[in-house]
Amino acid sequence: MAEGLRERKKRQTRQYISDVATGLFMERGFDAVTVAEIAEAANVSVNTVYNYFPAKEDLFFDRSAGMADRLARWVRGRDAGESAARAVLRELRGEVEAVSPRVGLMEGYDRFMRVIHEAPPLRSRLWSLQQEFHDNVEAVLREEAGAATDDPMPDLMAGQICWIHQAVFVAIGREMLSGRKPAEVSREVLILLDDIEDLLSEKVLNYAVRGAS
């Protein structure tokens, strides 16, 4: 269905508030900026800010909902004959090879990461997001395998798959923080992905192979 005028205005307002907040956070740091200052800069009320963003951390991680489900989407959308782990490795290689901003390979990502490192509430929220990644992947694996609730395998495999993703993002964040160029980091992370695949057992690499339709 086409987006209505009211929905479009709400989406635009939400995005504008988020953009204003992000600019302030990047300039002054997360802890130094108040919600009241964000509201004033965006020319809206404090209540309006909270209507769109229940917590201050939500203003920084405004795209977290789509991010937290990304790994699960990759697993669910794997090709016939492809396992869950190999699907994630393939998707990550594609993003890294394309020097994609979606994995942090962009100028300015170092400032984004520095804001997180300097703010304990953001580090805590990042940990929560990582747990969401895990829970979403586990749910997909458990559903598709028809696993019992007490079967530990989907949980263990989700942990391995999320480790792949986290290892890549940690490496990218570390190198970008040190002032490296995105294209240089991309080349090194592609080698890292090969090393990660070599470390994974055959049991992980061959778990949840999608059958032919």
Query: Is residue 14 very low, low, confident or very high in pLDDT (cuts 50, 70, 90)?
Result: very high
DSSP secondary structure letters along 107-139: TTHHHHHHHHHT-HHHHHHHHHHHHHHHHHHHH
Q: What angle do CA 59, 74, 150 make, to 5 degrees?
A: 95
Distance in angstroms (rounded) separating the CA atoms of residues 147 and 3: 39
Alpha carbon of 25 to those of 12, 19, 22, 28, 196: distances in Å?
20, 10, 5, 5, 34
Packing angle of the helix pair 84-97, 182-199 (nearest 10 deg) = 160
- What are the backbone dihedrals phi and psi of residue 53, each rounded to the nearest 5 degrees, phi first? -135, 100
Tell me: the pLDDT tens digits for 90-100?
999 999 999 99
| pTM confidence score | 0.86
Classify residue 54 by burial, with Cβ atoms within 10 Å: 0-12, 13-18, 19+: exposed
Query: Is residue 4 very low, low, confident or very high in pLDDT (cuts 50, 70, 90)?
Result: confident
Q: To the nearest whole number, what is the mean pLDDT of the chain?
A: 92
Between 6 and 136, residue with greater pLDDT: 136
Tell me: the pLDDT tens digits for 182-206?
999 999 999 999 999 999 999 999 9
Would you say the C-alpha torsion 95, 133, 140, 192 has a positive or negative sign? positive
pLDDT at residue 62, as a whole number: 84
Query: Is residue 144 very low, low, confident or very high in pLDDT (cuts 50, 70, 90)?
Result: confident
Least Cα distance to 134 among 105, 94, 164, 174 occurs for 164
